[in-house]
Amino acid sequence: MPNSPHGEQTARYATAARMYDCYLGGVHNFPADQEAAREVMARLPGITASAHANRAFLARAVDFLVGAGVRQFLDFGAGIPAQGSVRSVSGAAIDARAVFVDIDPCAVAQTLELLEGVQWAVAIRGDVRTPQPILAHPEVRRLLDLTRPVGLLLTAVLPFIPDDVQAYGAVAQLVAALPAGSYVAISHGAAETFPPDADACHAAARTYQKYTGSQATARDHAGVRRFFTGLDLVTPGVVCARQWRPESPPALAEGSGHSGLWAGVGMKS
């Protein structure tokens, strides 16, 4: 990637998407991302396990939605495609269509390179805090039929909207734009699982802000449950990400203990 046109321009700056790629053990990141990721991992050693648990939840949620008949997806904070965000959808249904949205221009450029010549999916740059321009985007309108059920994916992106008014307002706007029969999948850092040392959490948040300009926050179970207001929660509700419809017992499938994430799926009736 450093040899690509967008790589040379962004190598000096870390982004949340490429730091996430570091946590997953990916190769689509730069020294700036690695340095920032190491600082966060030093403060929050469980963040790599949380990243893997989040990716596994995304795959299971997409499989569930495909089984429920959903064939079009709007994925916010899609990140680096090499770590599965594209394959999560493309591998689930041959006729699925998807729009991948990310605020990081490098992540969008990489996804567009991967999707060159592909007709079923596209990547666009957008900010989840301002949903309306994204919903009105020509590529969204071209690829998705917003009169038919959509799978809205909001995995590990809402922590980067620390302002509650903005966060809950953005989700409410997105849900309002979806037709009945649509589903919303959300994962979010669980405040209850962060270390009792508040300084470690604040230091990790400051690292994100220092390197990326982004602020991050965790929310408790009630706060994450609030994002599903007006939706019918799919069993088992908002639970630890590892406990959301695991393919095998969590202790065997993804390790024991809490994933550090609350996760759930809701349906709009």
pLDDT tens sequence across 174-197:
999 999 999 999 999 888 886 655
- Cα–Cα dist 98/103, whole Å: 17
| 175, 187 Cβ separation under 8 angstroms | no
| 211, 36 Cβ separation under 8 angstroms | yes
Instruction: Give 6's pLDDT tier (boundaries 50, 70, 90).
Output: very low
**Is residue 250 scored above 60 in pLDDT?**
no
Q: For the structural domain made of 5-267, what CATH number should be given?
A: 3.40.50.150
Higher pLDDT, residue 244 or 24: 244
Q: Where are the domains of the chain?
A: 5-267
Three-state DSSP string of the chain: CCCCHHHHHHCCCCCHHHHHHHHCCCCCCCHHHHHHHHHHHHHCCCHHHHHHHHHHHHHHHHHHHHHCCCCEEEEECCCCHHHCHHHHHHCCCCCCEEEEEECCHHHHHHHHHHCCCCCCEEEEECCCCCHHHHHCCHHHHHHCCCCCCCEEEEECCHHHCCCHHHHHHHHHHHHHHCCCCCEEEEEEEEHHHCCCCHHHHHHHHHHHHHHHCCCCCCECHHHHHHCCCCCEECCCCCEEHHHCCCCCCHHHHCCCCCCCEEEEEEECC
Query: 196: which residues sit within 8 A by CB, 6+ positions away?
Result: none
Average pLDDT, the chain: 85
| 238, 179 Cβ separation under 8 angstroms | no
- Cα–Cα dist 123/113, whole Å: 10
Beta pairing partners, 101: 76, 124
**Is residue 258 scored above 80 in pLDDT?**
no
pLDDT of residue 200: 67
What would the pLDDT profile of 56-111 be if each residue is shown by its tens digit?
Answer: 999 999 999 999 999 999 999 888 765 555 555 555 566 889 999 999 888 898 88
